[in-house]
Structures are given as C-alpha cells and as structure tokens.
Amino acid sequence: MRRITVFRIYLCALFLLSLPIVLAAAAAWQPPSQPKTAVIAHRGASGHAPEHTLSSYRLAARMNADYIEVDVRATKDGKLVALHDATLARTTNVETVYPHRSPWRVSDFSLRELKKLDAGSWFDPRFAGECVPTLDEVVRMLKAERVNVPLYVETKQPGIERAVARLLQKHGVLQRGSVMFQSFHPESLQALRPLIPRGVPLIQLVGEKEARSGRDELLQQIAVYADGIGLPLPAVTEEWVRAAHGRGLMVHVYTVNEPHDLARLCAMGVDGVFTDYPDRPGRIAACRRLPRH
C-alpha cells in the first residue's frame, strides 16, 4: 500500500510540474488559417467603371482585389491591347469615328486608329476620353502607382502567347505570384506552358454547354496541361467542384455578383470568383473555407 501511495504522490507531482508547460502550449496554439476564395476583378472593377480601361484597373486595385483580369487581343499591326470583344462596337464609339468599316473587328484596326476611339462614354459621361489601353500601358501604370495586385491574363486569340510572355518578362511580371493565365483555347494554354516559369498557373475556361456534358472526360483532358478550370456560374455544382479538386485542379467561377451566389460557391469550396464588384468586403470576408487537402 505504501508503494502505491508513493507512486500516486509521484504522479501528482509530475502533473503539477508539467501543467504550466501544457497550459502555455495550449495558449500559444492557433487553429490553421483559412484561406479565402480569391476575388478576381472581372475586366477590372467593371461594375463601377468602363471595362478594360485604366480607370477600371485602378479602382480594382483600390478595392483590394486579389487579381485583376486583363483580356488581351492583337491589333492589325500586332500590338497587344486590353479588350474583351472581338469587335469594337459595344465598348467604343467606333461606329461614329469609322462608320464605313463594319463589322469593326479589333484585328482590322491599327493601334494608332484604336487610340482615336472613346472607350469610356458608353459607360458614363464621366469617363469620356478613356482610351483602349495596351497591355504595356496597363503594366506600366500599375508599376508606376506601386500596385502589387497580380494580373489574371486571358489570351483571347491563339498566336499571341509569345508576345504576351515576352512583354510580361520585360516588366518582371512573368513570375509566380505576379500573374496567371486563362483561355478558352486549349492550344493557347499549351503554347504558353514552355514560355512561362514553373508555378505560374494556367486555367482552362469552359462554356456552359461544355460544362454540362462529359465532366470526367473533360477534367481528365484539362489536367494534362492546365492547373485549373474556369466554370460559368450556372453550371457550377458541388459535384463539379469535388471532381475538379479530385484531379488537383483549381476551380474559378465567372461571373459572381450576387451575395447568395457567393455564399453558395464558398460553401462548395471554390478557389476563386470573378466579380464586377470587388469592393463588397462583407461578402468577401464571409467567403472563407477550410484548407483543401
């Protein structure tokens, strides 16, 4: 009995001696951080300023977007410009300035001709005089204003990959953490792969019709050359997200402007959302999830 009593006293003493260490460790421990879903400024802050203008990109940076999307096309003389549409009619006054050059394709105009267009008034008279910017001008502006928001570059047409990579390399932007690329054209992403450093992500965009057919086969094909998939909002389901993550692919969704959509996507664990309104911090802050293993 005496031996048992001594042993109990020893255990109690050991517990009391180790208690401060255990309590200190418990106080110092913090739960793992929860990465937020990336907020991608869709064509800049295009809900507040004319899309793909310097004003739109500046606003996106001030609104703390995680990425700024820049769609890139080539002019007739091979200059890289920030434009979404293949034609100029929707976002400029080209029909007034060049009335006889229908259908006003970007590729039919030189950069000098494009610079004569107003790319802001269609959105609001306050933006009258905004020009169609070149990719070079976009990068120079962000650097001059010390904006450290990474670019999310979409190649809108195959064949411009080398020129895009060369320009970004010249400005020191072609590196992990400073840029990622997306395209609807698989051949464009495949052409980019040998031109970019390891760790710079490539995202394959798909349309709604494509997303609703042959999911597993599509993901298998994309996983060969890309790091993620860009899905249209109406096509996104929990099964889609789970299947893509199972292939090691990121999931980015376009275009998400409503709170209920954002909450639903965050609950699914998507990796990024494109939005016209990157200034809605209440919606952004709530979009957090546990790390994906």
Q: Catalytic site residues?
A: 42, 84
Cβ atoms within 10 A of the Cβ of 238, count? 12
Cα(258)–Cα(275) distance, rounded to whole angstroms? 9
Paired sense of beta strands 250-254 and 228-232, if any = parallel
Where helices occur in 247-286 by DSSP H, the ranges are 259-268, 281-285
Alpha-carbon distance values, 268 to 94, 95, 119, 235 (Å):
43, 44, 37, 13
Print burial letters for 132-146: b (CB count within 10 Å at least 16), e (below 16): bbbbebbbeebeeee
Q: Where are the beta strands (DSSP E) in 31-77?
A: 38-41, 67-74
